[in-house]
Structure 1
């Protein structure tokens, strides 16, 4: 039986790479995005439906998914839509913070809640939430972004417990750095002069030289495919060499020692 995957945030980067990979493996793909009229690549592929969906619009989201479920069986849902809000907390407006939470956290919760009764009644299904290595490990200038990704991680673990009795799996894929346009269209930020030196040091990690060492979207998409098809009762899939190395180090030396190591790297800066 040909299976169907539903993906949010499929207009670029990881979302698009995931849509193409599943399509190549013979799946039906429902690729959702805010501006489908701008999509020219996925629309040319067989068995791919490109649909308008804004995860921050509750009414549109519920109507769209309800309609899809009257026409199509969904086997896997990938909550990928999101972006990064980067900068010191003092620099952010309340609107920036609310927008980040609405997209990265509330979007995931709304999608999950809308699909939950469908999967519960079918007694099967896989919900995959895309977080980040910054959803497992905090980092300076990523406070709100990490808050949303840590929240999605905890939300996913809790939902996994709730839905286990119905045969539904909830999983998390936590990538490290990805060679996408994340630093462009998928990034928002703000500056504060008191944190200029800190910000400059953090930005060294986003240099072209460092970005070249990050994973490709296609590599992370393969991890998503594994999570969707391996049949394992596994919660977290840490993806990318950098993310795996950081996560393993944190587990090996202990959370507090790892926190002190990161903190000391920034305390040593001249004031």
Structure 2
């Protein structure tokens, strides 16, 4: 039987790549995005339905998902929508902080809550939430972004416990750097002169040379596909060499040792 995946943030980057991969594997794909009228590629593919959805709009979200569930069987939900907020905390406005939390955290919570009764009654289903290597380890200028991704990690683990009794699985895919336009289109930020040296040091990680070492979106999408199809109860899938290196360091040396090591790189 042909399976169906529901994807948020499918207009570009990892979301679009995942949509194309699942479609190529014979899945039906519900690809959601804020501006479907701008989509020119996914809308041309067989078995792909492009839908309007802003995860920060609770009314639109409920109406869209209610309509989908009246007309379609959903097997997997991929919570991918998100963006990065980069800069020193004291440079951000309240509006920037609230917007980051609304998209990266509340969007995941709302989507999960909307699908939970459906999967519970169906007694099967998989919820896959995209976090980040910065949802496993903190990093300077990523305080609010990391806060949302750490929160999604904890939320996912907790929901996994809640839903296991109903045969529903919750999984986390935590990528490191990806060779997409995330560092451009999907970033917001703010500058503060007092942090000039630190910002310059962090920006070295976004140089063309460093980005060339990041994972290709196709490789991360393959990890997502594995999480959706491997039939295991595995919770976390660490995706990418850089993410695995950070995660392995934390598990092998301990969180405190890793914190001290990273902190020493940013003391001037």
State the TM-score bracket (shorter-chain normalisation): over 0.9
Map Cα deviations across residues 6-50 of structure 1 (whole Å, 9 max, x no partner). 000000000000000000000000000000000000011000000
Say if 2:91 is the partner of 1:97. Answer: no
The separation in 2 between residues aligned to 1:221 and 1:173, in whole angstroms, is: 10
- Runs ≥4 residues deviating over 4 A: none
After TM superposition, the structure 1 = structure 2 runs for residues 54-203 of structure 1, keeping only pairs within 5 Å, are 54-203=54-203
Deviation at 1:65, TM superposition (A): 0.2
Matched residues, number: 268
TM-score by length of 2: 1.00
Say if 2:53 is the partner of 1:18. Answer: no
Q: What are the ranges of 5 or more consecutive residues in structure 2 without an aligned counterpart?
A: none
Q: RMSD over aligned Cα, in angstroms?
A: 0.3
* Partner SS for 1:188: strand
* Partner SS for 1:233: coil
* Residue 32 of structure 2: aligned partner: 32
The separation in 1 between residues aligned to 2:264 and 2:213, in whole angstroms, is: 24
Deviation at 1:250, TM superposition (A): 1.1
After TM superposition, the structure 1 = structure 2 runs for residues 34-49 of structure 1, keeping only pairs within 5 Å, are 34-49=34-49
Deviation at 1:176, TM superposition (A): 0.1
The separation in 2 between residues aligned to 1:177 and 1:256, in whole angstroms, is: 23
* Residue 217 of structure 1: aligned partner: 217
Deviation at 1:149, TM superposition (A): 0.2
Deviation at 1:183, TM superposition (A): 1.3
